[in-house]
Amino acid sequence: MKKITKICCIGAGYVGGPTMSVIALKCPEIQVTVVDLNEKRIAQWNDEDLDKLPIYEPGLKEIVAQTRGKNLFFSSDVDKGIDEAEMIFISVNTPTKTYGKGKGQAADLKNIELCARNIARVAKEDKIVVEKSTLPVRTAEALKSILDNTGKGVKFEILSNPEFLAEGTAIEDLLNADRVLIGGDETAAGQAAKDALSWVYEHWIPKDRVLQTNVWSSELSKLVANAFLAQRVSSINSISALCEKTDANVAEVSRAIGFDSRIGSKFLNSSVGFGGSCFQKDILNLVYIAKSFGLTEVADYWEQVIIMNDYQKRRFADNIVSTLYNTVSGKKIAFYGWAFKKDTNDTRESAAIYIADALLDEMAQVVVYDPKVKEETIYNDLDYLGTRSPEENRRLLKVVSDPMEAAEQSHAIAILTEWDEFKTYDWQKIHEIMLKPAFVFDGRRILENEKMEKLGFKFYKIGQSH
Ligand SMILES: NC(=O)C1=CN([C@@H]2O[C@H](COP(=O)(O)OP(=O)(O)OC[C@H]3O[C@@H](n4cnc5c(N)ncnc54)[C@H](O)[C@@H]3O)[C@@H](O)[C@H]2O)C=CC1
Ligand SMILES: O=C(O)[C@H]1O[C@H](OP(=O)(O)OP(=O)(O)OC[C@H]2O[C@@H](n3ccc(=O)[nH]c3=O)[C@H](O)[C@@H]2O)[C@H](O)[C@@H](O)[C@@H]1O
């Protein structure tokens, strides 16, 4: 069996960076080079100060400290990285298309195609190309067609090896993956390539957790896994609305149903709505694929997961407005949290963005505090929506680095990310410095009703009427 000695990963993002760091840590005999067109990002990965890495993930900087410069390298020389490697991972972003056919649903495969053309142009020897990005089923076919038409006689084996890590727990997920999925051609060369990649993972993942399938099952399984996970969040969020009308408590319902081993207890936390760069994008992609095969009912079924998520975000914003006597105009509303979940600085598709946008439409004065997200990112997120001018966004929304400053003289606090530090704040002090009545809207269910009510807050928690 072929033992890989040089790996290149195209894309130094939330997946490429942590995944390759862990491969470098666990496979000291393999040289791993992560390349990216974005020179600023590469410079951040190479920064002496490990607190300046472009991605915040618990445990990441410690691994980079151990491996960088030994067998882990970050470079903007994409061609060299490709040329030297026997195995190339493609881990570039595949966002929802914002133009042309499939706009708003299909995955934009522009970056993937650029990578394939780059590999085709540079490669002089046979290579294994691994799809790490999440891709629509049958993308490997397009990749193969581009790679096989180089006219240089170089042979490529294409594997699908989707990533299942969740942000905030990326390192833990990579070190103890539930499974690793490897799809490849059912030919002798395809089998050899699958075995070569399995060997890499088997440095630390038990053999029985490395699953091999055909390419199409692997590509499709990734979209389906995300759709099933997001469906659970939308399912429990739909019930949270019903709980608020019926005096049932969504946490008690989650616990009661989760004890059934057939249902299971994970991913049943009701929230202000799921965010992140993948759930929405991947479900929309699944919807688009189903539609393109004429499977309307299948498309509608999965689209409902997104519709429910939009409803949950809108419901939270509407509730703030109606509770604050039907107007938030000129009222200071503090946001605790902007990231789409705790322990990450990623804000892509975060519910906070949409809730801020809805409140800014009502002329609220929003003040944001998040322990890891930069001011620049917050304004970029809002500007990207295009609802109002960048100047107007900066006039209506402020970003602060102190949670007390955010709370000071505010009418309400909305908790939008479940950062642990929010639980340990001196909520009595916060109550004192807020305007009265002091409202707290807990979109993450991290604070206790009894305690908050005792302190004098008007307290609203998603999925609970009192
Ligand atoms: N973020 C996550 O938690 C997960 C993401 N995924 C999937 O992994 C893929 C990557 O996602 P992220 O790492 O979050 O994206 P990202 O946006 O953080 O990183 C992608 C990187 O690729 C670079 N890039 C784009 N085109 C390039 C090219 N032609 N040549 C060189 N570099 C190029 C970009 O500059 C960027 O730094 C996506 O398909 C996503 O769906 C899968 C599992 C988890
Ligand atoms: O393909 C991807 O990008 C990844 O998408 C998700 O990972 P991620 O989006 O990083 O984070 P999650 O933990 O899944 O959270 C997604 C959103 O759902 C929300 N959520 C999650 C769980 C829950 O019970 N309730 C809930 O509201 C989170 O707050 C967050 O906004 C999947 O969990 C990963 O397996 C997958 O690899």
* Cβ-contact 439, 460 below 8 angstroms: yes
Catalytic status, residue 27: no
CA distances from 167 to 33, 180, 314, 381, 461 (A): 22, 17, 25, 18, 25
Q: What is the pLDDT of residue 153?
A: 85
**pLDDT in 10s for each residue of the chain, 466 residues:** 789 999 999 999 999 999 999 999 999 999 999 999 999 999 999 999 999 999 999 999 999 999 999 999 999 999 999 999 999 999 999 999 999 999 999 999 999 999 999 999 999 999 999 999 999 999 999 999 999 887 688 999 999 999 999 999 999 999 999 999 999 999 999 999 999 999 999 999 999 999 999 999 999 999 999 999 999 999 999 999 999 999 999 999 999 999 999 999 999 999 999 999 999 999 999 999 999 999 999 999 999 999 999 999 999 999 999 999 999 999 999 999 999 999 999 999 999 999 999 999 999 999 999 999 999 999 999 999 999 999 999 999 999 999 999 999 999 999 999 999 999 999 999 999 999 999 999 999 999 999 999 999 999 999 998 6
Q: Is 114 in the pocket of ligand 1 (CB under 6 A)?
A: yes
Pocket test for ligand 2, best of 165, 224, 418 (most atoms within 8 A of CB): 165
281-314 residues labelled b (16+ CB within 10 A) or e (exposed): bbbbbbbbbbbeeeeeeebeebbebbebbeebbe
Q: What is the pLDDT of residue 149?
A: 85
Whether the bond between 437 and the residue before it is cis, its omega within 30 degrees of 0, is yes
- Could you tell me the distance, in angstroms and rounded to a whole number, from the CA of residue 387 to the centre of ligand 1? 26
Nearest CA to ligand 2 atom 25: 269
What is the Cα–Cα distance from 60 to 70, expressed in whole angstroms? 16
- Could you tell me the distance, in angstroms and rounded to a whole number, from the CA of residue 439 to the centre of ligand 1? 39
Q: Is 36 in the pocket of ligand 1 (CB under 6 A)?
A: yes
DSSP string, 218-252: HHHHHHHHHHHHHHHHHHHHHHHHHHHHHT--HHH
Q: Let me know how many helices (H) and strands (E) the chain has, helices first.
A: 18, 14
Q: Is 9 in the pocket of ligand 1 (CB under 6 A)?
A: no
- Could you tell me the distance, in angstroms and rounded to a whole number, from the CA of residue 338 to the centre of ligand 2? 15
Q: Is 258 in the pocket of ligand 2 (CB under 6 A)?
A: no
> Helices 250-258 and 215-246: crossing angle, nearest 10°?
130
The candidate with the shortest Cα–Cα distance to 132, out of 74, 32, 219, 217, is 219
Other beta carbons less than 10 A from residue 38's beta carbon:
13
Q: Which atom belonging to ligand 1 lies closest to the Cα atom of 78?
A: 31
What is the Cα–Cα distance from 427 to 456, expressed in whole angstroms? 10
* Cβ-contact 406, 335 below 8 angstroms: yes
Point out the ligand nearest to the CA of residue 14: 1
Which residues does residue 129 pair with via DSSP β-bridges, in sequence order?
A: 88, 158
Q: Which atom belonging to ligand 1 lies closest to the Cα atom of 17?
A: 13
Q: Which atom belonging to ligand 2 lies closest to the Cα atom of 342?
A: 29
Q: Is 349 in the pocket of ligand 2 (CB under 6 A)?
A: no
- Domain 6-205 and domain 279-461, same fold? Reply is yes
DSSP string, 76-87: S-HHHHHHH-SE
* Cβ-contact 60, 21 below 8 angstroms: yes
> Which residue has tokens 């190479």?
46
What is the Cα–Cα distance from 448 to 434, expressed in whole angstroms? 19
| CATH no., domain 279-461 | 3.40.50.720
- Could you tell me the distance, in angstroms and rounded to a whole number, from the CA of residue 14 to the centre of ligand 1? 7
Token duo for residue 256: 């009661």
Other beta carbons less than 10 A from residue 445's beta carbon:
22
Q: Is 219 in the pocket of ligand 1 (CB under 6 A)?
A: no
Strands 397-399 and 365-369 turn out to be: parallel
Task: Indicate the helix (H) or strand (E) that contains 375.
Answer: helix 375-385
Q: What is the pLDDT of residue 197?
A: 98
- Could you tell me the distance, in angstroms and rounded to a whole number, from the CA of residue 278 to the centre of ligand 2? 8
Token duo for residue 169: 């727990």
Task: Indicate the helix (H) or strand (E) that contains 398.
Answer: strand 397-399
What is the Cα–Cα distance from 237 to 443, expressed in whole angstroms? 11
- Could you tell me the distance, in angstroms and rounded to a whole number, from the CA of residue 340 to the centre of ligand 1? 17
Residue 184, φ and ψ in degrees, nearest 5: -160, 175
Q: What is the pLDDT of residue 150?
A: 75
Token duo for residue 132: 């790490």
Pocket test for ligand 1, best of 57, 89, 93 (most atoms within 8 A of CB): 93
Domain spans of the chain? 6-205, 279-461
Q: Is 166 in the pocket of ligand 2 (CB under 6 A)?
A: yes
Residue 210, φ and ψ in degrees, nearest 5: -100, 105
* Cβ-contact 24, 1 below 8 angstroms: no
> Which residue has tokens 């979209």?
223
What is the Cα–Cα distance from 282 to 225, expressed in whole angstroms? 10
Q: Is 16 in the pocket of ligand 1 (CB under 6 A)?
A: yes
Q: Which long-range contacts (CB under 8 A, 24 or more apart) does 75-78 make?
A: 75/33, 75/34, 75/35, 75/42, 76/35, 76/36, 76/37, 76/38, 76/39, 76/42, 77/35, 78/10, 78/35, 78/36, 78/37, 78/118
**CATH superfamily, region 6-205:** NAD(P)-binding Rossmann-like Domain (3.40.50.720)
CA distances from 303 to 111, 283, 287 (A): 25, 7, 6
Strands 6-10 and 180-184 turn out to be: unpaired
Q: What is the pLDDT of residue 465?
A: 86
Q: Is the dihedral of CA 239, 240, 245, 248 positive or negative?
A: positive
* Cβ-contact 147, 119 below 8 angstroms: yes
Q: Is 379 in the pocket of ligand 2 (CB under 6 A)?
A: no
- Could you tell me the distance, in angstroms and rounded to a whole number, from the CA of residue 423 to the centre of ligand 1? 32
Point out the ligand nearest to the CA of residue 16: 1
Reduced to 3 states (helix: H, G, I; strand: E, B; else coil), residue 201 is: helix
Other beta carbons less than 10 A from residue 28's beta carbon:
12
